[in-house]
Amino acid sequence: MLTLFKEIFIWWNQQTLGTRINTILFGKIVGEDHFGNKYYQSKSGKRWVIYNGEVEATKIPNEWYSWMHHTSNNIENLHELKKYKWQKEHLPNQTGSENAYHPKKNKNAVKKKYSSWKN
């Protein structure tokens, strides 16, 4: 009962009731990423994502972001997409979390090689 209540009133939690109905009636699943997000497409070409957990647009990896915005259609070859060892894993936006970047917390920051003017 609580899940149904969340779907009706709390849009930021996961999918809404309207999205669930639209997905059941018109959606064809295209794939799923390693975060558990599921990607759908309708016959008319509309594309959407059902997030695993909280709705956050930065949870979409680059290759799926390109697919969502019709810039590239390499999803069919996603398993053949070569990842290089120097490429980092995709991370969602870390702002507001303990992992957020802050210059004072960064121990690897380059120290200034000069001194500022003083009054």
Give the tens place of pLDDT for each residue, 75-110: 555 555 677 888 888 788 888 888 887 777 777 666
On whether residue 49 sits in a domain, the answer given is: yes
Question: Hey, how many other C-beta atoms are within 10 angstroms of the C-beta on 64?
Answer: 22
pLDDT given at position 37 = 92
Provide the domain count of the chain. Answer: 1
Report yes or no on whether pTM surpasses 0.85.
no
Residue 104 covered by a domain: no
Does residue 95 lie within any of the structural domains? Answer: no
Distance CA 75, CA 55 (A): 22
- pLDDT (mean) for 40-45: 93
Counted residue by residue, the chain has a size of 119
Burial of 59 (0-12, 13-18, 19+ CB in 10 A): buried
Predicted confidence at residue 28, as pLDDT, reads: 93
* Residue at token pair 């990607």: 39
Question: Looking at residue 73, what is its pLDDT?
Answer: 55
pLDDT of amino acid 12: 60
| Cα end-to-end span (Å), the chain | 66
Range of the domain at 32: 2-80
